[in-house]
Amino acid sequence: MLRRFLDLADLSDDRLEAVLARARRLERSRTSPALAGKVVGLVFMNPSLRTLASMQAGVAQLGGSTFTISPGAGSWKLETRPGAVMDGDAAEHIREAIPVLGQYADALAVRCFARGVDLEEDLADGVIRAMAELSPVPFVNLESAAAHPCQALGDWKTLDDLEVPRRGGRFVLSWVWHPRGLPFAVPASTVAMAARRGMHVTVLRPDGYALPEPVMTRARALAAASGGEVVETADREAALAGAHVVYAKSWAAPSRYGQTGESELRAGLRHWRVEESWFAPAAPGAKFMHCLPVRRNVKVTDEVLDGPRSVVVRQAGNRLHAQKALLLEMLTEEGA
Ligand code: CP
């Protein structure tokens, strides 16, 4: 039985296909008693709309229940650093909190974003890995410093639903402007997902915003194994030629990660906002994807977001079906 889901790579190809198939069945038939009597503990160190609501709703639809802990907002603020001298805000350490919560639940699912100070540290994803090690029960990553695997799983299903070709499908992950430098969890998981799906993946980004080399190296290795390809460019016209999907996301400049100078690098890049004109060289009916939340008319125009290309609401819906299928894989014999 799968005990940890920290990254999409934790699902073998066979298991991934089985989870996607189960997600499709659960979309057609939403309720079941499969998790009756089971409790899933949700720990949200950071805000959420979709992940929180879809986990709570999904477990309830499967006959189980959840409790939700928001450290620092109604429960003790949690320290995550090993060896910390805890004379600051945090009254409790994950070393106690996770094993304690694990006694009350059949699975734990945790959101814990990047600290945004040290790129190498965040890409190593040590905090979520430490929590998974501490958990006595199956453990799900609901977005960590370096990965958002539930998003990637839901997005894979969305691409399948839309019949975007796996082999030969052209997927563009485009950097877009945002008021601050964001971490790499979503872009890293997205580029890996599309590469593993066998697609031709283009990372479109301005100079200075290449994804960190470990993220690209991994994506290229996944593409090599699946028959896909991963390239990067700052040339929008070339990137969008024949594209089936444009997936918008913002991320920090790796060379300025955690530094105040990062905002200066971004200052002249506000025109990196998805507009309808971007799609002129794309394939007919090309889709627009975003994990949400999205800043309207900053990252993408109303015209695109409200138009027929946008599948962002469908993506969010697939979070529910995909996570339910994942939980059955992790918590039931049928799923094993
Ligand atoms: N996409 C996503 O994870 O949304 P939330 O941050 O609202 O959970």
CATH fold for domain 163-310: Rossmann fold (3.40.50)
CA distance 124 to 98: 20
pLDDT in tens, 83-116: 999 999 999 999 999 999 999 999 999 999 999 9
Choice among 2-16, 99-113, 204-218, 254-268 with the minimum mean pLDDT: 254-268
pLDDT in tens, 285-314: 999 999 999 999 999 999 999 999 999 999
Among protein residues, the one whose CA lies closest to atom 7 of ligand 1: 49
pLDDT in tens, 193-238: 999 999 999 999 999 999 999 999 999 999 999 999 999 999 999 9
Q: Among 44, 140, 148, 292, which residue has the most ligand 1 atoms within 8 Å of its CB, making it the best to mutate? A: 292
* CA 43–ligand 1 middle distance (angstroms): 14
pLDDT in tens, 160-170: 999 999 999 99
CATH for 4-148+318-335 is: 3.40.50.1370
Answer yes or no: is the C-beta of 51 below 6 A from any ligand 1 atom.
yes
Asked if 4-148+318-335 and 163-310 have one fold, the answer is yes
Check residue 44 and give its pLDDT: 98
Domain ranges of the chain: 4-148+318-335, 163-310
Chain-wide mean pLDDT for the chain? 97
Check residue 334 and give its pLDDT: 76
Among protein residues, the one whose CA lies closest to atom 3 of ligand 1: 51
**Beta-ladder partners of 172:** 202, 246
Check residue 311 and give its pLDDT: 98
CA distance 308 to 237: 21
Check residue 260 and give its pLDDT: 79
Edge-to-edge strand order for the sheet containing 4-5? 4-5, 139-141, 107-111, 39-44, 65-69
Burial of 4-22, coded b for 16+ CB within 10 Å and e otherwise, reads bbbbbbbbeeeebebbbeb
pLDDT of residue 153 exceeding 90, the answer is yes
Q: Are 112 and 128 in contact (CB under 8 A)?
A: yes
Rg (CA), the chain: 20
CA distance 43 to 65: 14
What is the number of the ligand 1 atom nearest to the C-alpha of 54?
8
Check residue 54 and give its pLDDT: 99
